[in-house]
Amino acid sequence: MPKALLLENLHPQSHAILAEAGFDVVTRTGALDESELIEALDGVHLLGIRSKTQVTAAAIEQASDLVAIGAFCIGTNQIDLAAAATRGVATFNAPFSNTRSVVEIAIAEIIALTRRLTEFDKQMHDGVWNKSAVGAHEVRGRTLGIIGYGNIGTQLSVLAENLGMSVVFYDTAEKLALGNARRMHTLDELLETSDVVTLHVDGRSGNAGLFGAKQIARMKPGAVLLNLSRGFVVDPAALRDAIVSGHLSGAAVDVFPVEPKRKGDPFESELRGLPNVILTPHTGGSTEEAQEAIGQFVAHKLRDYIATGSTTLSVNLPNVALDQHPGVHRLAYLHHNVPGVLAGINATLAEHGVNIEGQLLATRGDIGYVVTDAGSAVDPAVVAALSSQPEAIRLRVLS
């Protein structure tokens, strides 16, 4: 029975889907460090994680049975995708499933910070009645600047406009503006224009340190900053200085450069205790609805890859959409992308009298993926011949 290891408190639906598909599913709470992960991956075919567990090249190299990794979140920067690809380990994530949850928390924080609800709430709990309009504003008529106009940024753009906000955005890629949103040509132009700046960039290494003292200084006095993207994007010390000096009137931070591995672990940050600053424990996408959707989506991708070889929406392998057809014997062949591979495969199959009923080839950088459907069972000699080719990475026979 193939084995699946699910870490970091994944939704029960992921366990149920994989168990129903015939996997022996083992669940563990919290993240694992590299040595713990290497030990835990012994005999494991599928690995499910969220954002805390770092799946390094060393861990992948020693996990000889590992076939696929599921990132039950949006980001995949915690996984060495290149190492996984060169070992023939497919990786899937959930790029859309928690979009609405992140957008809703951003809207809630924009309103809360603009109205200084955090300060009023704290004073009331301290027994202080401070009825005042000073520093509290409507969001209607104010300008929201969105950095990163992807799935989350675009949906946030639409909802913010419905609240009466003007929306500007900046993205390094060409993006179609929705509604009345306006594209800014430079980041500085956005910062100088916006009353609220919210970050929704991805985890690529080039975004590390994107937002520091220089960028914060370009923001309007009294503006608000939200970071719901990646912890390494914003310099927390620079943000603290801006809050303490009064240059920024508030901030909301959901992600941090260093985060505890397990629920209940102590949390340290220079942002703790600051006025009108909302800190949340990386829960921007953590609603029950989102976690259920993510659990179902990624578990289905893992299940389908094992059963049919389909790599649709894989983040590190060529994408091939496949269905399983009764009576078909399928060869799923991951290989180095060099000339002559397809000809060599077909020559080997012909030598062994294997009739090809269908065949698909896709490439992605240095990796190629050939899926061949045969009308009869494939002899072990064919498998041995293909697996021994110098370009072979991983061959799976699916019947």
Which CATH number is associated with domain 320-399?
3.30.70.260
Mean pLDDT for 5-30 is 96
What is the residue-wise DSSP string for 26-82? Answer: EEESS---HHHHHHHTTT-SEEEE-SS--B-HHHHHH-TT--EEEESSS--TTB-HH
- For the chain, the average pLDDT equals 95
Mean pLDDT for 281-307 is 95
Which SS3 state, helix, strand or coil, does residue 72 take? Answer: coil
Q: How far apart are CA 134 and CA 131, in angstroms?
A: 9
- pLDDT for 202: 87
Instruction: Encode pLDDT of 165-176 as tens digits.
Output: 999 999 999 999
| Structure tokens given for 347 | 């020559």
- In 3-state terms, the chain is what percent helix, strand and coil (to 5)? 35, 20, 45
Q: How far apart are CA 311 and CA 313, in angstroms?
A: 6
Q: Is 183 annotated in the active site?
A: no
Q: Is 282 annotated in the active site?
A: yes
Q: How far apart are CA 252 and CA 122, in angstroms?
A: 16
- pLDDT for 295: 96
Phi-psi group of 273: left, alpha or beta (phi > 0 → left; psi -120 to 50 → alpha; rest → beta): left
Which SS3 state, helix, strand or coil, does residue 301 take? Answer: helix
Percent of the chain surpassing pLDDT 70: 100
Instruction: Encode pLDDT of 201-227 as tens digits.
Output: 988 888 888 999 999 999 999 999 999
Q: Pick the catalytic residue: 259, 292, 357, 391? A: 259
Domain locations in the chain? 1-97+288-317, 99-279, 320-399
Q: Pick the catalytic residue: 116, 230, 303, 330? A: 230
Instruction: Encode pLDDT of 67-107 as tens digits.
Output: 999 999 988 989 999 999 999 999 999 988 899 999 999 99
- pLDDT for 218: 97
Q: Pick the catalytic residue: 50, 115, 200, 282? A: 282
Binned at pLDDT 50, 70 and 90, residue 323 comes out as confident
Q: Is 230 annotated in the active site?
A: yes
Mean pLDDT for 280-299 is 94
Which CATH number is associated with domain 1-97+288-317?
3.40.50.720
pLDDT at 161 over 90: yes
- pLDDT for 204: 81
Domain 99-279: give its CATH architecture.
Answer: 3-Layer(aba) Sandwich (3.40)
Instruction: Encode pLDDT of 240-261 as tens digits.
Output: 999 999 999 999 999 999 999 8
Q: Residue length, the chain? A: 399
What is the residue-wise DSSP string for 364-382? Answer: ETTEEEEEEEESSPPPHHH
Is 99-279 in the same CATH topology as 1-97+288-317? yes
